[in-house]
Amino acid sequence: MLQKPRGTRDFLPEEMERRRIIEQRMRNTAMRWGYREVCTPTFETLELFTMRSGEGIIQEMYTFEDKGGRELALRPEVTAPVLRMYVNEGKVLPKPLRWCYFADCFRYERPQKGRYRQFWQFGIELIGADSASAEAEVILAGHEILSNAGVQFTLHIGHLSPMRTMLAAIDAPVAKTVMGLLDKRDFEGLEQCLTDLRHHELLESLTGLVQSKTIDEAFAICGDIPERERIEETFAILDGLDLPYTLNMGIVRGLDYYTGTVFEAFAENLGAENQIMGGGVYRLAHLFGGDDVASCGFAIGFDRVMVSLGETELVRPPVVAVLSTNEARPRSFEVAGAFREAGICAELNLMDRGIGAQMKHAAKSSDFAAIIGERELARGTVTLKNLQSGTQHECGLDEAIAEVKGVGAC
Ligand code: HAM
């Protein structure tokens, strides 16, 4: 028996329905903030991803050469493609641009629960607004999208400048190693690394910075930095709105394009792979031939959100099974058509079964049964049975449609 590739998943209809409900909630929230959906290709030129991150990233990607000898890659994320698109198509559009996306991404990683080789991201990118309000908007929208999805999470917000300022004093390769260890939250490794290199003072100050509870504490450790005013302004907006978050000056972010405020969200009920959102302020457009425009965005790990939601009850649109005798079969197509026109899912009986057997089947897969027997056929009515409560009554088609519509989200 052939199996699916490692790190990929199949989704049965039940799961797809759940996923679509949550996806739509995320899209609706983003749209209320003014973010409009965009779509980029599933594969891009390899260079788009190596330009900022270097060749090292190739081993974490699905790369291939096409028949024309072009080096391509399945997208490991959507920010670089969206910024490429901005440079190609969006430079003349009025700024700021508010774009959102829902897309599958591909990373050649060791699969485990919550870590897949094909996974979906819901993200937003705010392009062309360089202000504290822009940063605050993106963070607030991210918080609202996750809250509306129904997931329990904690939000961590930090800024890269304090740490980068402190690491400027040491060799670049060591600084990179240190940031890598902080990104993985490997504090033992960090201690080992800095002790071996006799950077005892740096270890102490970095530990202090990471543990800072307020931005004033962080500035007391890293000193006065040029970004201070902007950082204070961003946090003042968030604090003024009582956004619940934890200050975390230890956030590094794995991707190389961030330049300022960074943030991550963690689901409360997931294990090791509990980061469900990551984002921040970055600059990429200039690398792709565009202007050096400030951008800010995030991506939500959609699959992790779904794992976190578990079996949470979600309202799904009602399904009506249209049951009929053989004589009423042509009428059953008309009745099902009328339900569908009203936006309701209607399933026809396709098998050679009696009404009793059709009802047994309907009870397993539908919320209502609309029965058309001899009497209903003659009178132009249906008998509508609510399969949850068991109540039933004969009525006109319009009344039946109104009753089904009143029960669930159509
Ligand atoms: P990222 O942190 O690499 O950021 O990915 C965002 C989210 O995608 C993660 O927080 C995680 O929930 C999910 N994720 C990452 N890898 C996997 C995987 N292998 N399996 C399942 N979920 C995964 C970005 O991709 C940036 N482009 C975010 C961004 C947008 N920054 C600015 N704009």
Ligand 1 mean position, distance from CA 77 (Å) = 7
Residue 407: predicted pLDDT = 72
Closest atom of ligand 1 to 77 CA is: 25
Q: Give the domains, in start order, of the chain with CATH numbers.
A: 13-160+251-309 (3.30.930.10), 161-239 (no CATH), 319-407 (3.40.50.800)
For 72, the enclosing helix (H) or strand (E) is: strand 71-74
Ligand 1 mean position, distance from CA 183 (Å) = 13
Say what the pTM is. Answer: 0.90
Residue 278: CB within 6 Å of ligand 1? yes
Residue 361: predicted pLDDT = 96
Q: Which amino acid is it at 380? A: G
Integer Cα distance of 123 and 327 in angstroms:
52
- Residues found in the chain: 410
Ligand 1 mean position, distance from CA 161 (Å) = 22
DSSP string, 332-391: HHHHHHHHHHTT-EEEE--SS--HHHHHHHHHHH-SEEEEE-HHHHHHT-EEEEETTT--
Protein residue closest via CA to atom 29 of ligand 1: 298
Closest atom of ligand 1 to 299 CA is: 28
Protein residue closest via CA to atom 27 of ligand 1: 79
Residue 409: predicted pLDDT = 45
Q: Strands 275-282, 382-386: parallel, antiparallel or unpaired by DSSP?
A: unpaired
Structure-token pair, residue 152 = 């329990």
For 233, the enclosing helix (H) or strand (E) is: helix 228-240
Integer Cα distance of 375 and 394 in angstroms:
10
Sign of the CA dihedral with 366 first, then 368, 370, and 371 last: positive
Ligand 1 mean position, distance from CA 408 (Å) = 33
Residue 277: CB within 6 Å of ligand 1? yes
Ligand 1 mean position, distance from CA 123 (Å) = 9
Q: Facing residues of 242 across strands?
A: none
- What separation in angstroms does the CA of 117 have from each of 74, 77, 105, 190, 281? 11, 12, 8, 29, 26
Protein residue closest via CA to atom 22 of ligand 1: 301
For the chain, residues with pLDDT lower than 70 are 408-410
Neighbours of 131 (CB within 10 A): 15
Residue 128: CB within 6 Å of ligand 1? no
Neighbours of 341 (CB within 10 A): 10
